[in-house]
Amino acid sequence: MTTAATRTPLPPASAPAWPRQGAPAARPQQSEPAAWPQQSAPAAWPPEAEPFPIGAHLITPRCGYTHHGIYIGSGRVVHYAGLSRAALTRRPVEEVSLTEFAGDCGVAVLRDSPLAFAPADVVARAKSRLGEDRYRITTNNCEHFCHWCRSGQNSSAQVERLFGWASTAGAWLARTRGVFGAVSARA
């Protein structure tokens, strides 16, 4: 299942500010997030207009997964920081700049993220969990957090795909073990 996202590339670091009038329109993402161009957000803020809708569910590619956050306006994102890459320790829900959230990658809006609350309520829900430090990769990760902020539901398509793959692999192993077990029993 491919996730629908509107890709809004960030300008090169040398750009003075966010793209303004005449900038190319955002287009649907055509490839996997890992193929997004390496770009970073500009240091200058504020742009003439917000680069993303307030309360938008943002995604950015990471090595092996997609990171999620909620855009709260003025170039700020609330996200579950998750596991520290350096120390492999848990990190809390935090508010960061769009530049820090993006890292050296592009950022996109997840278009099919369910929405049950007004944008201001999405932002309030995200901010209500600032400092929370209960990250769990399979039950309370950055994607779960964003879906909860926007819809009240805790879900993660990445985790569901992982469990689906693991279930399929387990079923295959059970079948092949049965086949190989029958062969070895004859020997």
DSSP per-residue codes, 42-65: -S----SS-SS-TT-EEEEEETTE
Mean pLDDT by 10 residues, the chain (187 residues): 50 38 40 44 59 95 88 95 66 93 91 93 97 89 93 82 61 61 53
Asked if residues 161 and 106 have their Cβ atoms less than 8 Å apart, the reply is no
For residue 93, what pLDDT is reported? 95
pLDDT of residue 154: 84
Instruction: Please tell me the distance from the alpha carbon of residue 73 to that of residue 50, in angstroms, as a whole number.
Output: 7
pLDDT of residue 166: 53
| Superfamily of 5-155 according to CATH | endopeptidase domain like (from Nostoc punctiforme) (3.90.1720.10)
- Which residues are CB-contacts of 178 (< 8 A; sequence separation ≥ 6)? none
**pLDDT score, position 136:** 86
The reply to whether the predicted model has a pTM over 0.75 is no
Alpha-carbon distance of 179 to 102, in angstroms, equals 48
